[in-house]
Amino acid sequence: MEDAIRLTTPLKTEDVEKLHIGDRVLLSGTIYTARDAAHKRLIQLIQTGDSLPFQLEGQVIYYVGPSPPKPGKAVGAAGPTTSYRMDAYAPELISLGLKGMIGKGARNQAVKDAMKQYKAVYFAAIGGAGALMARSILTAEVIAYPELGPEAIRRLEVKDFPVIVANDVHGGDLYEEGARMYAR
């Protein structure tokens, strides 16, 4: 991705403000994995005032449950899961400083509103390309909920992790825009 924007986590407001739908991004640094069961537990911790397993401010969560790694690899296939299952939880996490989410599929209006209000973005990853995505993952460490197996929260170190901006802080929605362009 020669013309990709390179970003390093944690993300800052100015990082996400310059992004627009359709931008190709190569992420490097630390990102976290979490799916719906982990999201539910994070929200429960927030509601009870307990500490989270990682600080949300500036972070990116990848909606993935990676397969077991082959020898010498950090993870096996690591393709995105469908994001709408996290929509009930995402607005609260965004309001607490989450700056990015990675998954596949459209987001609901509450999530899009929260991204616009609190300056966060949603990145689309290529579904069905889990082995390709895994090449950009250098390390993976379970940091919470090991009993969830592949859905445990992991800290990933990534280099040049390829994503596309699907929703931006300006209210842009690549899924809606794509449908409009196709309809023409």
Domains and CATH numbers, the chain: 5-183 (3.20.130.10)
**Does the pTM exceed 0.85?**
yes
pLDDT digits (tens, 9 = 90+) for 75-104: 999 999 999 999 999 999 999 999 999 999
Catalytic residues: 39
The SS3 assignment for 153 reads strand
8 Å CB contact between 10 and 28: no
pLDDT digits (tens, 9 = 90+) for 4-61: 999 999 999 999 999 999 999 999 999 999 999 999 999 999 999 999 999 999 999 9
Q: What is d(CA 12, CA 121) in angstroms, rounded to the nearest whole number?
A: 11
8 Å CB contact between 35 and 63: yes
Q: What is d(CA 17, CA 92) in angstroms, rounded to the nearest whole number?
A: 20
Q: What is d(CA 157, CA 50) in angstroms, rounded to the nearest whole number?
A: 26
